[in-house]
Each structure stands twice: as C-alpha cells, then as structure tokens.
Amino acid sequence: MTISNPFFFESPSTSWSFTDRETLLPAVTTFLQQRGRRLLIHGRRRTGKTSLIQNAAHKAKAVLLYVDISTAASLAEVAKKLLDSAPPEESSALASALAIARKHFQSIVLTAGKLSLAGNFRQESGETTLEQVLAYLDERAALADEPWTICFDEFQDMRVIGGDRPDWKIRGIIQHHRHLNYIFTGSDHRLLAWMSESDAAFFKQLQQVEVGPIDAEHLARWIDRRAKTGGLPDPTFGVAVVAAAGPCTGDIVRLAKVAFDIAAAGKAKDVVATAIDAIALGELNAEFNARWADLSVPQRSVLQMVAAGKPTTASDTLREYGLRTPSTAQSALARLIDRQILVRTANGVIFDNPFFRRWVIFHAI
C-alpha cells in the first residue's frame, strides 16, 4: 500500500462536531451574505479562526478582503494590503470603477484590467489613507451589488500601529459604510474587553463568536481515520497527539503530520514523543532560541517553573529558581501572559505553544 501523509490535504474544520463548530460555519456564512454587519471572532491562536472565515467565504461565494494587522507596520500599509486584495474590476463596470477611484486617490494605474495606485494618496496620514481605501471599497461593493467583507485579523495590534484609541478611529471611518461587512478577529485575551466594554467604541455593536478547541475525542478519531487513509494499517496515536499538543487545532495537526511520517518510517517506539522532539528541538529550535534570548532572567525562571509544573508563588520554588520576591515572579508572569507566551486557562497557566514547553524542559531544566 502506498504511504502518503494525509494531513497536508485536509483539516478537521470540514468535520467539526456540533459541540464545537457545527453551528458556527452556517452562522458566519449567513453573516457574509448580508450587508453592513459587524462581527468579533476571538479565541486563542491556532484554533482555526482564519480557516473558519475562509471556509464560510467559500461556502457563501462571498468577496473576502483579508489583512493580518500583525504583519503591517502602519495604517497606510493596512490600506495598501486591503486594496491589493480587492477583486479585479469587470470590464463592463471599469469606467464606473475608475470614476470611484478618482474620487479617493490622487493617482491611478490600470494594469491588466485591475486598478492599482501609484504616487501619493490625497493626504499622507495613515488614518486618512485607510479611510480613502475603505470608502473606495464600499462604493465598489455597491457598484457590484454584492456584499463584500473586510477582515481585520489580529485586530488588537491596531493599538500598536494605530496610535491613541484606534478603535474609535476605525468606528469613525466605517460607520457610514452600508455595503461592507466587517470582521474583527484576534487572539489576545484582552481583545474582548477592549471591543465590548461599556466605554468601547463598538459597545453593543458587534456580534461575538468565540472559537474554542475542537472536542478532543472527535479530533483524536479524525486523526486516526486520516492516518489510515494515508496508508497506516492500524494507527492509534490520535489520543496521544491531542493530549500532547492540545488544545489548539493548529498545534495538533502539526504534530499529527510529523507523527504520521515517523510512524510510516517505523523507526520509533514512541511515535508522538519523537515527533514532539523533531518539532521542538529541530524545526522550531532557531525560533525558540531567539524567543528565549529576548526574555529577562525572571521571565525565563517563570517559564522554567511552569514547564516543570511548579507553582509560581511558593517561596521554596522562588528560591530554587533564583527569584527574590513574589512580586518579581508575578510581574514576569504578567508580562509573559501579555506577550501570549503563557495563557491562563480554567486549569491554570500553561504555555501557549506546547512545543516551546518541550524546548524549555530540554534546554533549561
């Protein structure tokens, strides 16, 4: 039988269970088919927020203009990324599209039937540039007579590039748009409060969706089924993969891919442990080295405590790891949570990335 890794061709988003996602995909699909709607989707990184939106857009046959705020250095760059993602103009509507563009942009270039910008926008500020682009896209959607959706991914990073209270700036820009939907997504645990607290710009203006983990048993069965379709005669590592890499779907699927290759090679007794080391100490070693180098000594100590399963408040533990006061440990802990290296859960503080935990155990404990 031919062995072929099946985890490169399908994600579990196509078979989410009712308790996790079954109601979310139709809900987001319906949202994308309407106009003038606003949605906040939040949850930890690598839980499938982006794939949920993309799958819904495909199902709805909707225009989705996506920009990852964390990859942009300014509001002007956000605007440019959105403009670049706009669909090409239909030849029958090209004259109208050009007329709309002339209202908002100082110069226009027409290349292979697609509008692009050259030279300068009418004003130099990033806020104004973004306003011009979004106004242009709203009129383009009206011209096409179909809903378009703008997705601002990792929206909490607007506070890094957008200056003072960027949420109010964005509200001011989009409040008159009638043909664009807006989806705000993010993984920062503070985003929900920032967007929905009583003094927030979007207070009571957003539908809210939390994307949590896929049911562990469901996901483990999916992994074993996929591994069997890939050619393994009797795969049984799904439960171990989910337990080791969960709860984030992206981490679980990454580990499943590597575990499959190791199991297919038949050279390891503990497939999952070997796969974890291959990722943590091999694939991601350089990234984790750089992350470790960027941490303060107290932050490193706290990570060692958490990796070893020791309390970060016990005086004996603090002395063992060279921290003089509980306040030093708590300040370091708070900073690690703010940077999303650690996350708070119902069961306590854990590593956001399970592979980084393995790296810390191997190199620092």
Split at pLDDT 50, 70, 90, the class of 6 is: low
CA atoms within 13 A on the CB side of 89: 26
Q: Which of 224, 230, 267, 221 is CA-nearest to residue 5?
A: 230
Confidence category of residue 164, pLDDT binned at 50, 70, 90: confident
pLDDT in tens, 191-210: 777 787 888 888 888 888 88
Do 69 and 160 reside in the same domain of the chain?
yes
Q: Residue 188: pLDDT above 80?
A: no
pLDDT of 66 > 60? The answer is yes
350 assigned to some structural domain: yes
- For residues 240 and 199, give the distance between their C-alpha atoms in angstroms, rounded to a whole number: 45
pLDDT tens per residue, range 7-49:
654 444 433 333 345 677 888 888 888 888 898 888 888 888 8
Q: How long, in residues, is the chain?
A: 365
Residue 114 has pLDDT above 90, yes or no: no
Of 210, 245, 261, which residue constitutes the final position of a domain? 210
Same-domain pairing of 105 and 23 = yes
Give the DSSP letter string of 85-150. HSPPPPGGGHHHHHHHHHHHBS-EEEETTEEEE-S-BSS--HHHHHHHHHHHHHHHHHHHTS-EEE
Lowest average pLDDT, out of 2-11, 137-146, 249-258, 317-326, goes to: 2-11
* Mean pLDDT, all residues of the chain: 83
CA distances from 197 to 153, 200, 345 (A): 20, 5, 21
Q: Are residues 250 and 343 in the same domain?
A: no
Rounded mean pLDDT, 158-164? 80
Report pLDDT for 195: 81
- Whether 122 and 132 have beta carbons less than 8 Å apart is answered as yes
pLDDT category at 125 given cuts 50, 70, 90 is low
**pLDDT for residue 258:** 95
Highest mean pLDDT among 15-19, 60-64, 111-115, 125-129: 60-64
- Conformational region of residue 209, where left means phi above 0, alpha means psi within -120 to 50, and beta covers everything else: beta
CA distances from 306 to 44, 252, 331, 348, 357 (A): 19, 21, 15, 10, 8
Is 133 inside any structural domain?
A: yes
Tokens linked to 46: 């690598």
First to last CA, the chain: 43
Q: Which carries the bigger pLDDT value, residue 72 or residue 118?
A: 72
- Asked whether the bond before 88 is cis by omega within 30 degrees of 0, the reply is no
Angle between helices 326-338 and 297-307 (to 10 degrees): 80
Which tokens hold the place of 364?
């620092």
φ/ψ of residue 130, rounded to 5: -65, -40
pLDDT at position 308: 93
Domain of 66, in residue numbers:
18-210
More reliable by pLDDT, 127 or 218 = 218
pLDDT score, position 197 = 80
How confident is residue 327, by pLDDT bands cut at 50, 70 and 90? very high
Would you place residue 280 in the very low, low, confident or very high pLDDT band (cuts 50, 70, 90)?
Answer: very high
Domain for residue 83, yes or no?
yes
Indicate whether 93 and 78 sit together in one domain: yes
Here the CATH number for the domain that contains residue 350 is: 1.10.10.10
Copy the structure tokens of residue 58: 């495909």
> What is the radius of gyration, based on Cα positions, of the chain?
24
The number of distinct structural domains making up the chain is 3
Residue 252 half-sphere exposure toward CB, CA atoms < 13 A:
30
Answer yes or no: do 197 and 230 share one domain: no
- Give the pLDDT mean for 249-276: 93
Q: Is the pLDDT of residue 139 over 60?
A: yes
The residue from 169, 186, 210 where one domain ends is: 210
Which of 153, 179, 210 is the C-terminal boundary of a domain? 210
Residues 91 and 142 in one domain: yes
